[in-house]
Structure 1
Amino acid sequence: MKRNSLLLLQLILIISLFTSCKSDDKPIIKEKPINNVDPFIGTGGIVHTFPGATIPFSMIQLSPDTDTKGWNWCSGYHYSDSTLKGFSHTHLSGTGWSDLGDILVMPTVGELQVTAGEKDKPDTGWRSRFSHETEKAEAGFYKVYLEDYNVTAELTAGKRVGFHKYVFPETEKANIIFDPTNIIFGKVLETKIETTSATEISGYCLSEGWGGKRYVYFSAEFSKPYDSFKITKAGNFSKHLKVIDKDVKGFATFRTRAGESIEVKVGISAVSANSALMNLRSEKDNSFALAQLNAQNEWNGILSKFKVEGGTKEQRRIFYTGVYHNFIAPNLSMDIDGKYVALGRQFKAEGFTNYSSFSTWDTFRATKPLISFLTPQYSQDFSKSLIARHKDAGEHLPLWELCGVDNTCMIGYPSVPVIYDAIQKGADINKKEAFAAMDDIAHFNKVSSSDGDGGLDEYIKLGYVPAHIPKNISKTLEYAYEDWVIAQLAKEIGDIKKYDYYMKRANNFRNIYNPERKMFWPKKANGEWFADIVMDQWEPLQDHWISGNKWAYDYFVPHAVSDLIELKGGKEAFAAELDHLFRVELDMKGEEHADISGFVGSYAHGDEPGHANPYLYNYVGEAWKTQAMVRKLMAEMYSDKPDGMINNEDCGQMSAWYIFSAMGFYPVCPGDKKYIIGSPIFDRVSMDLGNGRTFIVVAKNNSNKNKYVQSLSLNGKEITKSYITQDQISEGGILTFEMGPKPNKAFGAKEGDLPVSTLQ
């Protein structure tokens, strides 16, 4: 009887491992969301992500560095490499520029070597060969076998502490190297290392780079006392146990048994050495195993906000890894006592948690709206951090803030829609303080580190950025959209005078629309149109458009799409233009900008300003064309391989486009509360909102062929419109798609069912 009961129990357990069978009758093992995350996605190609350990929005991104120079190594790691120099504690995720790589740690065995050596000649230094076959990466955990030393390295992360575990062979010379001179792309100005006991060392690096001139202090603790400790100064061993110089490194040596592990905890701070120690002590009681468990629990909490059914394993991996990438940046930029550094000065956060690493130009489009839905508390803190630069520091909202410094990369004032999106989704933010910060930046001309003079003074005076200023078309269009956002907040706080003022500025896109050319065109300061431009060469286009991407910006009026349609001759003419955009390939000469990639016709999915363009068919009653195009882009521009995106991941934006699109809707205009309908790829997606409600998307009869929406309903009530609203999503409920193999050209085609976006 016991045996029969045991057999029955085993049968039940086996059955419980499986979910529904697909058409090929092969059962699919039920997966946990975290098992679908692959941090190696994006570490190849030009995607620029890193595979190491972090937790959501942590100060720590503990990851291997294979190189620190060159565009492929913006994150410090590239999948094509086979040697590494160590594991540093801070990294950028998917950006097109580089910095960080702070405080590198490397385990070795044998005689000490004082430099890392050359990547292709690892025997010239302490570098080690490694193989991807013995490398493992999960959300919150990284592991690799170092072939040159017979050492297994494991990494995990807390909020402010990096946790290392090194498993050594039997040796008299097990070394753990600390290299504060390691920096990705930047310039080292000064370093320091000292030891105060056989289990503790500390130091700092003062560097200058994309994140400005900054200190990173560290405090480290070993799980066992070292037998000896040495410090080098400019490559020579010193007699001192406290050394300050431009080139300082520390070497702790231990005796180890075969298979013995040494754990190292490293706390960091931008404020002071004492703060780094305080941060370390705040997580000191965590063993490596507990820290790993905590990290993976943190990720489970985020990833489990989505429950996905259907689709392929590859699609689920892309989706969940995309969620993972969206919760890496911004990064915690505040010590345990609330102190932080911004703009080279110390502050203390009151009533919020301070963050930095704001790639707002990329992420205002979809990443921040996604985070605001899922975790409004984070969006609230992000917004308060940005507002604090004006309110507390007396400065201006940043364009691209790294380590508390605005590196002024890109254009416009993209912090504005990030803050307003959080406000719209219920964040507890002082609206008048937010408006004051927005009003300030909308009158302060910043010179972009990537794109020159902002032209804001001329924009205010003339109503457009004139042709002699770099990227004038792109700047005019982005200013106009962001002015519309500011106008909405002015209206909410009851400042009608400011509302009217900014709504007038929001119409400035009209001033550069050339009706004869039927496109946005550079205009001189005297009001004359600019001369002809050679349109089949990249270089002349880059004078007027970001990356030279005219084909993205010719449709970038997200706040007034309906007005743009009228400017271009009406719905039929606009639809024909979109058809041309996605069908006719470019034949360009000259060097293509690195950010323009992933072409479908003239549309480049690798460049963020065009991300809404596939959804614009909905505005002219041809929603079925959007449905076909977004399915094509999801299939062709993404994979679960190391080069799994077509360009820089950009702190989440490339993935956020996929996440929204996979659910069947997208925020074309953050700030107007409309989410435009596309074509979902999963049978069912449940999204746990941060307000206690759940929004569920069901796609019936869904498949690769059945990509067209036949009908749509919300909580059983038919929706004929080709969009849903933020309020409908936030209320929770079930959005049901009926899918089919042929277009339903009547869906969303009636005049009252189109999304309307007008300033008229």
Structure 2
Amino acid sequence: MRKSILLLSSVLLTIITLSCEKEVVKEIQQKPIDYVDPFIGTGGIVHTFPGATIPFSMIQLSPDTDTKGWDHCSGYHYNDSTIKGFSHTHLSGTGWSDLGDILIMPTVGDIQLESGPQDQPDLGWRSRFSHDEEIAEPGFYEVNLKDYGITAALTAGQRVGFHKYTFPATDSANIIIDPTNLIFGEVLETQISTDDPTEIVGYCKSNGWGGKRYVYFIIKFTKPYDKFQISRNGKISSHLKVKDKDVKGFATFKVGENDPIEVKVAISAVSLDGARKNLLSEGHNSFALAVQHAQEQWSEVLNKFSIDGGTEEQKRIFYTGIYHNFIAPNLSMDVDGKYVAMGKKLEADGFTNYSNFSTWDTFRATKPLISFLTPNYSADFVESLISRHRDAKEHLPLWELAGFDNTCMIGYPSVPVIYEAMQKDVKGIDVNEALAAMDDIAHFNKISSSDGDGGLNEYIKLGYVPAHIPKNVSKTLEYAYEDWVIAQVAQKAGNKKLYEKYMQRAQNFTNLYHPEKKTFWPRKSNGQWFGDIEMDQWEPLQKHWISGNKWAYDYFVPQAISQFIEMKGGKDAFAADLDTLFSQELDMKGEEHVDISGFIGSYAHGDEPGHANAYLYNFAGQPWKTQAMIRRIMDEMYSDKPDGMINNEDCGQMSAWYVFSAMGFYPVCPGDKQYIIGSPLFDRVSMQVSNGKTFTVEAKNQSDKNVYIQAASLNGKDLDRSYITQEEIMAGGILKFVMGPEPNKNWGTDVNDIPKSPIQ
């Protein structure tokens, strides 16, 4: 009997030990979603938000700590200590903003009619909060509102925001509805009404970066309110349907301890009927099911990658980077297919409409990454853009927000977004419709809201944008690249005449190359070169280059780098020029543009036009310098802290640069099928591409010291060239590197192993 007891004890001990070991293994083996930290980018001037959303959703349900000033482009800043409420639409990482639509705030006690100032929360309904009592995960956000003892939890569907508020036991649990809340925008009119104690409806008409627009809303509570009041311009009204510039609603409930109220909010840009249909399309889920569904959708995206090696911080940066790339653009269509674009009410036929296109930032790496992973989204993005010309009878947008082209930035950056998807054989794109939209925008001069006259008419006439037009050098270079893109689409369409025309225009960058200065330089409309410019002052540079960032645009000829190298005096001279870029510190006077930051020498990683520059050494036959610089940028410009990027995240582009670079390659010329090799960050990273195949990069001996490629192979065969192709990535397989602490100056240096640009 004693032996039996001892044996049983031994068995139980073994079971318990194994169980504990399994728990330890479970803790160690984190899933990709566990590495995402939505707080990365909520500090500094990165301008991301921590709240709940799903991939490309209409809803970005997030706390607003304030809605005015540069720090609050996303409505939230990590340095703040009070929350004014939770609104349903936000931009991720932009340098200007709008949205922040339909704010909801739970409180306890007497009704306050205004949110109050950030630094004096007791003057309004604001609440203090602590990051120690705040959780942010993909698809889920939770915070304790300290002033009220309320736990607020949020999640999101495609068109519905889900709230769960757990109050202390009270007869005065309030849920405030504030349609006047906007980030930077101007309220024109609001309305709230109710005739059902579980439902509130209304709208806000506003004007801002997204133009004049309506947001209709319907709000459903899981329990009826006991009392509802509406304020008009700061005073309580006796009516339950009120329309004015400043209208807010206040629902009051009796609740017991741990008796949560769930709230569902559906929105529409089209109509109240559209909002109701949107609610019904996903409004039956409980909060718990909505969280589960949201996180399943994020896992579907994030699980396309797996990583071995690297630090925990690097993994967090990488997976959060994937997350940031799947926030924008945003669904901009009701469930019945109706949407608003270019001031018109339209109905989608055969595609899902999206808006919030930061194309000038994201054509560089974000859209190529998305096309690799989820071509179904890319198809809808492209159709949405083309529909502005085909259906709305307007022009391709520069920067479209809420269906409105706010014409921010320069060029016609929708063009490479469309072509890049075509190059990856994304289905459903009509090449002739795409060409028609591109040819149209390449002849329509837009006045940029940020950078003045587009100068397109002069560009067509002279072959360059003349010096008297703002940002003339930057505009000329971007037009020339985008003209190359249009030429490729014309070739696909079999239109030889347009192909030749745009290939000629693609050479226009040569018209601003000053042979004596050996750099791009402003030129007057009479053909004469502009005079000297004080190169140690920001203000004169900003007249000719975006943000004054001349050093980024000195190399922006992605379609013709090989030709440009010869113009600069050959490979050695070009590499020496790059050496100067990355080593010569700037000593500037005057106010520095906020977008220029993250300096290594004269290179500023915080401004997108230069994002390919570190990869250009490969074209000059010195790839080891690319390898060292890429690793330096990843180490110095990114972290897993709230201020974890050097500037605005810009709807995914800053993150996309890191994601591609960590994998070991980058799209220097979006639309070209070459991907230029850098220095892989992980021992092993796998990416499942859209056809279901897996492309894996292995880096033997890689470390923070071993950043140089000693040898490489692709699917078992030696690889001596410093680039791979789109076809090789899409075919799946294994790209292997052997890394070391010293450069191998024989790898990737032969003339046959150097990447060549589309224009030689």
TM-score, normalised on structure 1? 0.98
**Residues 269 and 494 of structure 1: is their aligned pair in 2 closer, same or farther, counting only changes over 3 Å?**
same
Q: What is the 5 A alignment of 1:628-707?
A: 628-707=628-707
The equivalent of 1:712 in structure 2 is 712
Give the CA deviation at 1:205. Answer: 0.3
The 1:355/1:758 distance shift into structure 2, 3 A limit, reads: closer
Cα deviation per residue 1:110-133 (whole Å; 9 max; x = unaligned)? 000100001000011000011111
Matches for 1:508-657 after TM superposition, within 5 Å: 508-657=508-657
Q: In 2, Cα distance between the equivalents of 1:636 and 1:417?
A: 29
1:490-501 correspondence runs (5 A) = 490-501=490-501
After superposition, the Cα gap between the structure-2 partners of 1:28 and 1:143, relative to the gap in structure 1 and judged at 3 Å, is closer
Residues 398-547 of structure 1 mapped to structure 2, 5 A cutoff: 398-428=397-427, 429-547=429-547
In structure 1, the residue matched to 2:368 is: 369
Secondary structure of the structure 2 residue equivalent to 1:751:
coil
Amino acid in the other structure paired with 1:289: A
Deviation at 1:344, TM superposition (A): 1.3
- Cα distance between partner residues in 1 of 2:106 and 2:49: 20
Q: Residues 437 and 6 from structure 1, CA distance in 2 versus in 1: closer, same or farther, beyond 3 angstroms?
A: farther
Cα deviation code 1:54-100 (max 9, x no counterpart): 00000000000000000110000000100010000000000000100
Residue 636 of structure 1 aligns with an amino acid whose one-letter code is: E
Amino acid at match of 1:722: S
Partner of residue 23, structure 1? none
Aligned equivalents of 1:14, 1:673: Cα separation in 2: 50
Distance 2:278 2:737 in 1: 49
Q: Distance in 2 between matches of 1:473 and 1:485?
A: 19
Q: Which residue of 1 aligns with 2:343?
A: 344
1:229-256 residue CA offsets vs partner (Å, 9 max, x unmatched): 0000001111111000000000000001
* Contact 2:561-2:759 within 8 A present in 1 as well: no
* Mean Cα deviation higher: 578-587 or 5-14: 5-14
Q: Secondary structure at the match of 2:507?
A: helix
Give the superposition deviation at 1:758: 4.9
Counterpart in the other structure of 2:263 = 264
Distance 1:12 1:694, change over 3 A: farther
* 2:37 is the counterpart of 1:38: yes
1:466-512: CA deviation from partner (whole Å, max 9, x where unpaired): 00000000000000000001111111111111111000000000000
After superposition, the Cα gap between the structure-2 partners of 1:392 and 1:2, relative to the gap in structure 1 and judged at 3 Å, is: farther
Measured in 1, the distance between the counterparts of 2:355 and 2:449 equals 18
Query: Alpha-carbon deviations, 1:564-606, whole Å to 9, x = none?
Result: 1111111111010100100110000000000000000000000
- Structure 1 residue 3: Cα displacement: 5.6
* 8 Å Cα contact 1:507/1:759 also seen in 2: no
Aligned pairs (5 A) from 1:736-747: 736-747=736-747
1:17–1:30: 8 Å Cα contact kept in structure 2?
Answer: no
Report the Cα distance in structure 2 between the residues aligned to 1:215 and 1:338, rounded to whole angstroms: 17
1:686 counterpart letter in structure 2: S
CA contact (8 A) 2:150 2:165 kept: yes
Partners of 2:557 and 2:16 in 1: CA distance: 60
In the TM superposition, what are the counterparts of 1:26-105 in structure 2 within 5 Å?
29-105=28-104
Runs ≥4 residues deviating over 2 A: 1-19
Check 1:18–1:660 CA distance in 2 against 1; reply closer, same or farther (3 A cut). Answer: farther
Alignment match, 1:217: 216
- Please give the alpha-carbon distance, in whole angstroms, between the structure 2 residues aligned to 1:343 and 1:239: 38
CA drift of 1:148 comes to: 0.7
Superposition deviation, residue 39 in structure 1: 0.4
- CA drift at 1:2: 6.3
Distance 2:8 2:187 in 1: 70
SS of corresponding position for 2:581: helix
Work out the CA distance in 2 between the residues paired with 1:101 and 1:284.
21
Q: Is the 8 A contact 2:471 2:544 kept in 1?
A: yes
Contact 1:552/1:603 (8 A) holds in 2: yes
| Residues 190-201 of structure 1: pairs in structure 2 closer than 5 A | 190-201=189-200
Is the alpha carbon distance of 1:16 and 1:614 closer, same or farther for their aligned partners in structure 2, counting shifts above 3 Å?
farther
In 1, the alpha carbon distance for the partners of 2:518 and 2:310 equals: 41
Q: Is the 8 A contact 2:163 2:263 kept in 1?
A: yes
Q: Which amino acid aligns with 2:34?
A: N
Corresponding position of 1:138: 137
Alignment check: 8 A CA contact 2:672 2:758 kept: no
Counterpart of 2:4 in structure 1 is none
1:182-331 map, 5 Å:
182-331=181-330
CA gap of 1:418–1:174, structure 2 versus 1, over 3 A, is same
1:129–1:148 Cα contact (<8 Å) kept:
yes
Query: Gaps (5+ residues) in structure 2?
Result: 1-6
Distance change >3 Å, CA 386–CA 5, structure 1 → 2: farther
C-alpha distance in 2, partners of 1:15/1:243?
A: 62
Q: Cα gap change, 1:10/1:667 in structure 2, threshold over 3 Å: closer, same or farther?
A: farther
CA displacement at 1:644 relative to structure 2: 0.2
Distance 1:374 1:11, change over 3 A: farther
Provide, for residues 24-59 of structure 1, a one-character-per-residue CA deviation record: whole Å limited to 9, x for no partner.
xxx981110000000000000000000000000000
CA-to-partner distance for each residue in 1:607-662, whole Å, 9 max, x for gaps? 00000000000001110000000000000000000000000000000000000000
Deviations 1:677-697 (A, max 9, x none): 000111111101111111111
Unpaired stretches in structure 1, ≥5 consecutive residues: 20-26
Q: Do the aligned partners of residues 197 and 399 (structure 1) sit closer, same or farther apart at CA in structure 2, a change above 3 Å counting? A: same
Is contact 1:684-1:697 (8 Å) kept? yes
Do 1:684 and 1:696's aligned partners in 2 also have CA atoms closer than 8 Å? yes
User: For the residues of structure 1 that align with 2:22 and 2:715, how far apart are their CA atoms?
Assistant: 30
* Distance across 1 between alignment mates of 2:533 and 2:544: 10
Q: Determine the structure 1 residue equivalent to 2:730.
A: 730
Aligned AA (1:110): G
CA 1:9–1:610: 2 relative to 1, 3 Å: farther
The amino acid that maps onto 1:589 is K
Find the aligned partners of 1:758 and 1:258 in 2 and give their Cα distance: 67
- CA distance 1:719–1:523, change in 2 (3 Å): same
Percent identity of paired positions between Structure 1 and Structure 2:
71
The amino acid across from 1:454 in the alignment is G
C-alpha distance in 1, partners of 2:610/2:17?
Answer: 52
Say which SS state the counterpart of residue 63 (structure 1) adopts: strand
**In 2, are the aligned partners of 1:563 and 1:758 still within 8 Å (CA)?**
no
The two structures, once aligned, show a CA RMSD in angstroms of: 1.2
Deviation at 1:370, TM superposition (A): 0.2
CA distance in 2, matches of 1:343, 1:386: 11
**Partner of 2:266: helix, strand, or coil?**
strand
TM-score w.r.t. the length of structure 2 is 0.98
Using a 3 Å threshold, how does the CA distance of structure 1 residues 305 and 245 change in structure 2: closer, same or farther? Answer: same
Residue 712 of structure 1, CA deviation: 1.1
CA drift of 1:196 comes to 1.8
Helix, strand or coil at the partner of 1:184? coil
**CA deviation map 1:3-34 (0-9, x unaligned):** 65555555555555677xxxxxxx98111000
Given that residues 200 and 220 in structure 1 are in contact (C-alpha distance below 8 angstroms), is that contact kept between their aligned partners in structure 2? Answer: yes
For 2:586 and 2:578, locate their aligned partners in 1 and report how far apart those are by CA, in whole Å: 14
What secondary structure does 2:107 align onto?
A: strand
Task: Give SS of 1:752's match.
Answer: coil
Q: Tell me, what secondary structure is at the counterpart of 1:711?
A: strand
- Provide the C-alpha distance between the structure 1 equivalents of 2:381 and 2:140, rounded to a whole number of angstroms: 26
SS at match of 2:465: coil
1:759 positional shift: 2.4
Separation in structure 1 between the aligned mates of residue 422 and residue 576 of structure 2, nearest angstrom: 37
SS in 2 for 1:219: strand
